[in-house]
Structure 1
Amino acid sequence: MAGRDQVFALIDCNSFYASCERVFRPDLAKTPIVVLSNNDGCVIARSYDAKPFVKMGAPYFQIKDVLRQHGVQVFSSNYALYGDMSERVMTIIESMVPAVEVYSIDEAFADLTGIPGDLTAFGRTIRAAVYKGTGIPVGVGIAPTKTLAKLANHTAKRLQAHTGGVVDICDPMKRDWVLRNTDVGEVWGVGRRMKAHLDSMHIRTAMDLAKADPWTLRQKFSVVIEKTARELTGTSCLELTEAEPAKQEICSSRMFGKRLTTIEPIKEAVATYVHRAAEKLRAQNSLCKKIRVSIRTGMFSPEEVKYANGALIELPYPTNDVRLLTKAATGVINCLFRPGFKYSKAEVLLLDLRQPGEFTDDLFAESQPQAAEKVMGVLDQINQRWGSGTLRAGSVPAAPGWGMRREMMSRSFTTRLDQLWTVRCD
């Protein structure tokens, strides 16, 4: 339809982690599911039918019996599976719309401007294509601004039985109904503290916020809440960001699966974290000039003696060479480690990141050899083709004894050849 105003869609996967687990477990289609954090610590995701039985963030050791009593299936986090399924979902969406902004692992904004015909029907087409291609159910919210698209998506999920998972509020009457029937706390960007401030001004619904004076909101709070209010009236203030800007720092950090008391496994862990961080560094075509490494004991148990230390390392030249980064990071552990402590976590932080050519060292400063760039290129090509970790530094173990506890983790159905889904024909 020629001349159509700007239109956004928010496509959001329903209970994404739980949905990923269900794709390869059709027997769990009607079973409540929760997914746990690192080391099986607490609940970080719930299927819709699990929400009445467990709160988000609940420690697993406290609710084991409750989950068992209500027949809730528990999974350890399987980030390799979730990441791969996310890429598949986003690829399908990108093939159907003019432009996409991947907002998070389970949601994306799409530009529907200029797409002819009934946009609700088009939203259902996207929903059906994603489900057919991945088995992941999604909700679609359509509106003239990104903030309204978020609200439309929320309404699509909240009223799933009536909406079929798709809501278009480009029509002002439909938009006003959604605004009147949505609590202000559900508006994108309105957190718990902001909701309390807005409540004190008798702004309790999304419609109240849309009708509030934008300049007053800006002076009392910030330009962000002013833009939110303007977006709720249909004035687009937030553009689609197709290319994510390069990160200014990259962090790789994990809790150990058990307390470590010797230096060698800590070095192995740090080498592993460097390997992951360096992959991300090369993926955004950046170089790193500084690296910070830290280790610490458990900080919350009153029975454990506490210790934490870190060090900042200046590299000889900007690099994305995992060999140089690993040597620097593991070398500094000799200075940080103190015997007699039980270590629970290590962290690697890549700092001072820039694109090649952006560093302004003097004419005679050392730079990364071309041979290193070729080696890293081959490393990435092999790992992209055969799976992450196929080719790695010798200091990175394949099955570390200090690895995270993930006793209930599902198989890596889409990323490992030895764990592919098998179908028996009896």
Structure 2
Amino acid sequence: MSKQVPVFGLIDCNSFYASCERVFRPDLAKVPIVVLSNNDGCVIARSYDAKRYVKMGEPYFQIKHKLKQHGIIPFSSNYALYGDMSERVMTLIESMVPAVEVYSIDEAFVDLTGITDLDGLGRQIRSQVLRCAGIPVGVGIAQTKTLAKLANHTAKRLQAQTGGVVNICDPIKRDWVLRNTDVSEVWGVGRRMKVHLDTMGIKSAMDLAKADPWTLRKNFSVVIEKTARELAGTPCLELDEPDPPKHEICCSRMFGTRLTELAPIKEAVATYMMRASEKLRAQNSLCKKVRVSIRTGMFNPEEAKYANGVVIDMPYPTDDVRLLTKAAVDALGRIYRPGFKYSKAEVLLMNLCQPGEYTDDLFAASQPTESTKVMAVLDQINERWGRGTLRAASVPSNPEWAMRREMMSQSYTTRLDQLWTINCK
């Protein structure tokens, strides 16, 4: 029996952050939108109709007048909303295909091998996600992951003609896409690589597909070799298995304002530890060491600069936020220095392990069973009623040092007090 030819799909949400904002604001369906980074710093997402006026990474303070001139609405980043909407989209996709690799918050590769009506399934996925989650997506289908990525790019670029679904399993369609796509649009080819490829006469994706793979490997890397082979139709990349538990977990944020006193910095570190410990328990891991660090701003020549960190050994591997928070907060006094304007703190959970993986002597302390039960109840309450419903006493609800997010939308899907309301007249 001959082996089936693999078929991959790439499902990518269109302007994801902006689309999430529009789901609960239908009045903005035809209004251009941009989403800003932490502390409302720079543009990190744009709706399609805003791209002609605003570049990615432009600082907000420099383009306020331009946004107002073109009627573009800015939003502070609402990561709780985006993360929840992403989970809804991925759950929908998983219900419709044999296997899924979640590639990023707004992208997923899927296994479509053996499915006969590929175009029909692509349209069904697009329709279902739009109807149930309100998010428009593009679907690219091909016999390799790199070609599926290229097909998805074409589906978005020519959405009016394609309806958001492009299947290039047919060699004629595949070659048309390759000829009409600049090499810089190929997955994994950046600006620097494009310059080098130009010197070799490789201008289009078709040129790269026809290039000698061994020459590309010799001059560049095995990654570019695999890219060329995939463009030519030879699968080199498979659907990845779910990621294994992380060996380190980091939570780091810029403060909304410069901090000079130790007390608010302790609050920030306790808040970051709360989030880091949630991630720790979500992957069923225990932590043996904690590193806490603080620093000032590094780019203002008029501000004195200072950065320091300290590593703390835990008495036993633990996921108890109370123990982890106390260790981190107590250690701050060893690295804090008065007279500086601090801009950032970081919590890093290190030497992570799974229960039963570590070996200690017979008389070494271990996490009490009661602590494990308390953490389970904590997570259950916060999962049901929203993050932060139950928290450590050292974690404030509305701290003055929190990130500036003056234009943030409501947490429509993750907070009961911010549910979407409809006024019926």
TM-score of Structure 1 vs Structure 2, range by shorter chain: over 0.9
Structure-1 separation of matches of 2:247 and 2:187 = 25
2:45 matches 1:45: yes
What secondary structure, in the 3-state scheme, does the structure 1 residue paired with 2:9 have? strand
Per-residue CA deviations over 1:306-331 (Å, capped at 9, x if unaligned) read 11111111212211111111011111
What residue number does 1:402 align with? Answer: 401
Asked if 2 retains the 8 angstrom alpha-carbon contact of 1:101 and 1:109, the reply is yes
User: C-alpha distance in 1, partners of 2:256/2:276?
Assistant: 20
Match of 2:274 in 1: 275
Q: What's the counterpart of residue 31 of structure 1?
A: 31
Contact 1:102 1:242 in 2 (8 A): no
> Relative to 1, partners in 2 of residues 1:105 and 1:270: Cα closer, same or farther, differing over 3 Å?
same
Q: Write the mapping of 1:383-398 to structure 2, written as runs, cut at 5 A.
A: 383-398=382-397
The 5 Å alignment of 1:92-111 reads: 92-111=92-111
Counting only pairs closer than 5 Å after superposition, residues 176-325 of structure 1 correspond to structure 2 as: 176-325=175-324
Match of 1:366 in 2: 365
Name the structure 1 match of 2:60: 60
What's the CA shift string for 1:124-152, capped at 9, x where partnerless? 11000000001100000000111111000
Structure 1 contact 140–153 (Cα < 8 Å) conserved: yes
CA pair 380-200 structure 1, distance change in 2 beyond 3 A:
same
- Choose 207-216 or 6-15, whichever is displaced more: 207-216
Q: How many residues align?
A: 424
Runs (5+) with no aligned partner, structure 1? none
Report the CA distance between 1:85 and its aligned residue.
0.6
Unaligned runs of 5+ in 2: none
Cα displacement (A) at 1:3: 6.9
Secondary structure of the 1:196 match is: helix
Q: Could you tell me whether the CA contact under 8 Å between 1:296 and 1:309 is conserved in 2?
A: yes
SS of 1:302's equivalent in the other structure is: coil
**Residue type matched to 1:116 in 2?**
T
- Which whole-Å CA distance do the structure 1 matches of 2:241 and 2:417 have between them? 35
Structure 2 counterpart of 1:150 = 149
Offset of 1:367 from its aligned partner? Answer: 2.1
Q: Which amino acid aligns with 1:90?
A: M
SS in 2 for 1:207: helix
Is 212-221 or 143-152 further displaced after alignment?
Answer: 212-221
What amino acid is aligned across from residue 72 of structure 1 in structure 2? I
Aligned to 1:134: 133
The 3-state SS of whatever aligns with 1:273 is helix
**Partner secondary structure for residue 256 of structure 1:** strand
Answer yes or no: is the 8 Å Cα contact 1:218–1:226 preserved in 2: yes
Going from structure 1 to structure 2, the CA distance change for 1:361 and 1:210 (only over 3 Å counts) comes to farther
Tell me the distance in 2 between the aligned counterparts of 1:242 and 1:20.
Answer: 27
Mapped partners of 1:176, 1:367: distance in 2: 61
Q: Deviations over 1:349-369 (max 9, x none)?
A: 111122222223334332222
1:15 aligns with 2:15: yes
Q: Displacement, 1:227?
A: 1.2
* Aligned-partner Cα distance in 2 for 1:316–1:196: 54
Q: Distance in 1 between matches of 2:107 and 2:10?
A: 7
**Aligned residue runs from structure 1 range 69-88, under 5 A:** 69-88=69-88
What is the Cα deviation at residue 263 of structure 1? 0.4
User: How many Å separate the matches in 1 of 2:95 and 2:241?
Assistant: 14
Q: Deviations over 1:77-119 (max 9, x none)?
A: 00111111111111110100011111110010111112232x1
Amino acid at match of 2:60: Y
Partners in 2 of 1:168 and 1:235 — Cα distance?
A: 17
The TM-score with structure 1 as length reference comes to: 0.97
Give CA deviations for 1:366-394 in whole Å, capped at 9, x if unaligned.
22222211111111111111111111111
Contact persistence 2:386–2:416 (CA under 8 A): no
> Helix, strand or coil for the counterpart of 1:252?
strand
Aligned counterpart, 2:377:
378
Specify the SS of the correspondent of 2:243.
coil
Matches within 5 A, 1:117-128: 117=117, 119-128=118-127
Q: Residue 291 of structure 1 aligns to a residue in which SS?
A: strand
> Could you give the per-residue CA deviations for residues 291-345 of structure 1, whole angstroms, max 9, x where no partner exists?
1111011111112111111111121221111111101111111011111111111
Aligned residue number for residue 417 of structure 2: 418
How far residue 4 of structure 1 moved from its aligned partner, in angstroms, is 4.9
What is the SS of the residue equivalent to 1:121?
helix
Partner Cα separation in structure 1 for residue 315 and residue 181 of structure 2 = 55
- What CA distance in whole angstroms lies between the structure 2 residues aligned with 1:285 and 1:227? 35
Matched residues in 2 for 1:254 and 1:334: separation?
19
- Cα contact 1:99–1:242 (8 A) shared by 2: no
Deviations 1:255-278 (A, max 9, x none): 111111100100000010011011
Q: How far, CA to CA, are the matches of 2:365 and 2:422 in structure 1?
A: 56
SS in 2 for 1:401: coil
The separation in 1 between residues aligned to 2:376 and 2:171, in whole angstroms, is: 52
Whichever residue aligns with residue 65 of structure 1, its letter is H
Moved more, 10-19 or 183-192: 183-192
Q: TM-score, normalised by structure 2?
A: 0.97
Measure the CA separation in 2 of the matches of 1:207 and 1:283. Answer: 44
Q: Does structure 1 conserve the Cα–Cα contact (< 8 Å) formed by 2:297 and 2:342? A: yes
Distance 2:36 2:183 in 1: 30
Measure the CA separation in 2 of the matches of 1:3 and 1:11.
Answer: 25
- RMSD over aligned CA atoms reads 1.3
Structure 2 contact 96–125 (Cα < 8 Å) conserved: yes
Q: Percent identity?
A: 78
- Aligned-partner residue type, residue 218 of structure 2: Q
CA contact (8 A) 1:258 1:344 kept: yes
